[in-house]
């Protein structure tokens, strides 16, 4: 099964001399959902502007995807999760504000000078999880301020509850960037952005990851032969990002074990996999130790760790259905027409399901019992995903990028 043909040809609305776009985000994150965003945005820009050269610029200073040996990343995440919440912001301040500041500034400057136009986005960049992004985006603002190139803040996620210092850093960064376009990916982000910056409510544009099936078509098995995917998330990620350690720790190996056995009992084949993040893989390792007999079952498989965004897209596209806390696992599934059950842990997952009209398949925190999820999944598989609704959403996501390019190109004249 492939994506239905588009209702119109994809327009190439700009031609002429070469234009270089530098996209600042976290495209080389080991959580490959961020790489999916960049790859889709890169493809869309190249379709719209035949002269485009698109350069990835990772605001964390990465220049490539991490190697398989990621002990330092794992150690940092684990150490941060164990710190009392009031001390966690010290780590990004020390690492990026002091130790690595000059190196990061040099890295971003070298990329910035290559570009005619700059884009900050997408992804959940305007979030203040322990001052991580406020520090990095404030450094980016200082780098881009003297460049005087048109900058767009595009389809970003915005969290509520910025710290006092985080708010100051974000507002100063926006003053330095002087963006010609600001858009966010959902209504919750729009309210959080305008409420905390006191700027006008930004436009809502769809997450570019929705375009993955448009630009990376995948033949899928579908039907009863394909497995249900259980996308495992590490409790460390929930502790750090959702700020709800007590609730997060109620998940883990026992939850995923019972969920898998529940699916087997009603006749599904299952595959456990992650989006590539180290803490997620460790959670999956813990599950295999907790319930080794589960993985000896003929209907259960553990997928290898994905190393590149395309691998993650292909894996999800080949599923019969998906169960996941991860936003971009659910976005990829929707794009390929794979029914998914979203396990809510913060506003971004809830906002996406609301945006595409599938709120009934979102499981709130208090209802995340394996039996409830299994029953809901059976209904989602029976109903499927409307091809017409998907086409409408994909078209809007593409047209949002068309509008972005128009604003940037006009500002750069």
Segment holding 279, helix H or strand E: helix 278-290
For the chain, what is the mean pLDDT? 88
Task: Tell me, yes or no, whether 367 lies in a domain.
Answer: yes
pLDDT at 222 over 80: no
Task: Tell me, yes or no, whether 5 lies in a domain.
Answer: no
User: If pLDDT is split at 50, 70 and 90, which confidence band does 57 have?
Assistant: very high
The contacts of residue 107 (CB under 8 Å, 6+ apart) are 61, 63
Task: Tell me, yes or no, whether 4 lies in a domain.
Answer: no
Q: Tell me what pLDDT residue 215 has.
A: 97
Specify whether 252 is located in the same domain as 229. yes
Task: Tell me, yes or no, whether 304 lies in a domain.
Answer: yes
CA–CA distance, 404 with 222 (Å, rounded to integer):
35
pLDDT at 61 over 70: yes
Specify whether 199 is located in the same domain as 280. no
Task: Tell me, yes or no, whether 9 lies in a domain.
Answer: no
Q: Tell me what pLDDT residue 247 has.
A: 54
User: If pLDDT is split at 50, 70 and 90, which confidence band does 94 have?
Assistant: low
pLDDT at 324 over 80: yes
Tokens of 298: 């003929």
Q: Structurally, how many domains does the chain consist of? A: 2
Backbone angles phi, psi at 51, to 5 degrees: -95, 0
Q: Tell me, what DSSP letter sits at residue 55? A: E
Range in 33-37, 250-254, 354-358 with the lowest mean pLDDT: 250-254
26-56 pLDDT, tens per residue? Answer: 999 999 999 999 999 999 999 999 999 999 9
The residue among 410, 406, 409, 412 whose CA lies nearest residue 203 is: 406
Most confident of 65-69, 73-77, 196-200: 196-200
Specify whether 53 is located in the same domain as 199. yes
pLDDT at 1 over 70: no
CA–CA distance, 208 with 154 (Å, rounded to integer):
9
Task: Tell me, yes or no, whether 302 lies in a domain.
Answer: yes
98-134 pLDDT, tens per residue? Answer: 557 788 899 999 999 999 999 999 899 999 877 889 9
Helical segments of 145-271, H only: 164-177, 187-197, 212-215, 235-242, 245-248, 253-265
CA–CA distance, 312 with 332 (Å, rounded to integer):
9
The contacts of residue 182 (CB under 8 Å, 6+ apart) are 152, 153, 193, 199, 202, 203
Specify whether 202 is located in the same domain as 315. no
pLDDT at 326 over 80: yes
Specify whether 143 is located in the same domain as 244. no
User: If pLDDT is split at 50, 70 and 90, which confidence band does 248 have?
Assistant: low
Cβ atoms within 10 Å, residue 74: 18
Tokens of 314: 């292909």
Q: What is the dihedral of CA 206, 212, 215, 217, to 10 degrees?
A: -140
Q: Tell me what pLDDT residue 98 has.
A: 52
User: If pLDDT is split at 50, 70 and 90, which confidence band does 92 have?
Assistant: low
Backbone angles phi, psi at 277, to 5 degrees: -70, 145
Residues of the chain with pLDDT > 70, as a percent, come to: 83
CA–CA distance, 101 with 105 (Å, rounded to integer):
6
Segment holding 1, helix H or strand E: none
The residue written with tokens 């936003």 in the block is 327
Task: Tell me, yes or no, whether 99 lies in a domain.
Answer: yes
Task: Tell me, yes or no, whether 169 lies in a domain.
Answer: yes
Q: Write the CA distances from 143 to 111, 113, 165, 168, 207, integer angstroms.
A: 10, 10, 20, 17, 26
Specify whether the CB–CB gap between 108 and 145 falls below 8 A: no
Residues 232-252 have a mean pLDDT of 64
Specify whether 152 is located in the same domain as 46. yes
Specify whether 237 is located in the same domain as 173. no
Specify whether 205 is located in the same domain as 268. no
Specify whether 173 is located in the same domain as 260. no
Specify whether the CB–CB gap between 129 and 166 falls below 8 A: no
Crossing angle for the helix pair 71-82 and 278-290, to the nearest 10 degrees: 80
Backbone angles phi, psi at 320, to 5 degrees: -80, -35
Higher-confidence residue of 88 and 207: namely 207
394-412 pLDDT, tens per residue? Answer: 999 999 999 999 999 999 8
Q: Tell me what pLDDT residue 131 has.
A: 86
Residues 65-92 have a mean pLDDT of 56
Residues 149-165 have a mean pLDDT of 95
Question: Which residues share a beta bridge with 362?
Answer: 342
Specify whether 365 is located in the same domain as 327. yes
CA–CA distance, 217 with 310 (Å, rounded to integer):
10
Q: Tell me what pLDDT residue 77 has.
A: 54
Specify whether the CB–CB gap between 404 and 119 falls below 8 A: yes
What are the contacts of 377-381 at 24+ separation with CB within 8 A? 377/228, 377/263, 377/268, 377/321, 377/323, 377/339, 377/341, 378/266, 380/321, 380/339, 380/340, 380/341, 381/320, 381/321, 381/339
Residues 306-312 have a mean pLDDT of 97
Residues 205-213 have a mean pLDDT of 98
Q: Tell me what pLDDT residue 122 has.
A: 87
Quote the pTM value.
Answer: 0.90
Residue 285, domain CATH = 3.40.50.2000
Specify whether 315 is located in the same domain as 200. no
Residues 334-354 have a mean pLDDT of 94
Specify whether the CB–CB gap between 127 and 243 falls below 8 A: no
Specify whether 250 is located in the same domain as 330. yes
Range in 59-68, 104-113, 273-282 with the lowest mean pLDDT: 59-68
- Residue ranges making up the domain that contains 171: 19-213+392-411
Tokens of 223: 């039907």
């Amino acid at each position: 099964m492939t994506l239905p043909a588009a209702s119109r040809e994809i327009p190439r609305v700009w031609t002429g001399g070469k234009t270089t776009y530098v996209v600042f985000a976290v495209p080389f994150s080991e959580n490959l959902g961020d790489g999916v965003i960049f790859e889709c945005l890169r493809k869309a820009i190249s379709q719209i502007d035949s002269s485009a050269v698109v350069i990835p610029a990772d605001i964390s200073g990465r220049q490539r995807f991490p190697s398989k040996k990621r002990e330092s990343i794992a150690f940092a995440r684990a150490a941060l999760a164990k710190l009392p919440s009031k001390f966690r912001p010290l780590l990004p301040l020390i690492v990026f504000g002091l130790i690595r500041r000059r190196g990061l500034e040099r890295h971003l400057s070298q990329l910035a000078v290559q570009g005619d136009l700059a884009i900050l986005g997408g992804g959940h960049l305007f979030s203040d999880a322990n001052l991580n992004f406020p520090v990095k985006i404030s450094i980016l603002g200082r780098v881009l301020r003297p460049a005087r190139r048109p900058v767009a803040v595009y389809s970003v996620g915005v969290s509520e509850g910025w710290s006092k210092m985080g708010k100051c850093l974000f507002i100063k960064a926006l003053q330095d960037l002087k963006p010609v376009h600001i858009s966010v990916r959902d209504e919750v982000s729009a309210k959080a952005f305008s409420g905390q910056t006191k700027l006008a409510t930004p436009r809502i544009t769809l997450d570019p990851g929705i375009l993955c099936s448009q630009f990376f078509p995948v033949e899928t098995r579908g039907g009863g032969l394909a497995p249900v995917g259980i996308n495992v998330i590490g409790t460390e990620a929930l502790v750090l990002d959702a700020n709800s350690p007590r609730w997060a720790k109620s998940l883990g190996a026992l939850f995923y074990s019972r969920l898998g056995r529940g699916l087997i009992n009603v006749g599904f084949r299952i595959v456990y996999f992650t989006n590539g993040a180290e803490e997620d893989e460790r959670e999956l390792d813990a599950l295999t130790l907790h319930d080794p007999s589960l993985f000896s079952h003929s209907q259960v498989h553990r997928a290898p760790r994905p190393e590149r965004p395309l691998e993650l897209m292909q894996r999800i596209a080949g599923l019969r259905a998906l169960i996941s806390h991860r936003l971009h696992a659910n976005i990829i599934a929707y794009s390929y027409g794979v029914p998914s059950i979203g396990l809510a842990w913060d506003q971004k997952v809830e906002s996406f399901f609301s945006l595409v009209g599938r709120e009934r398949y979102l499981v709130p925190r208090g209802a995340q019992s394996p039996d409830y999820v299994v029953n809901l999944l059976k209904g989602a598989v029976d109903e499927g995903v409307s091809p017409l609704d998907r086409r409408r959403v994909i078209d809007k996501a593409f047209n949002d990028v068309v509008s972005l390019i128009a604003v940037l190109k006009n500002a750069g004249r």
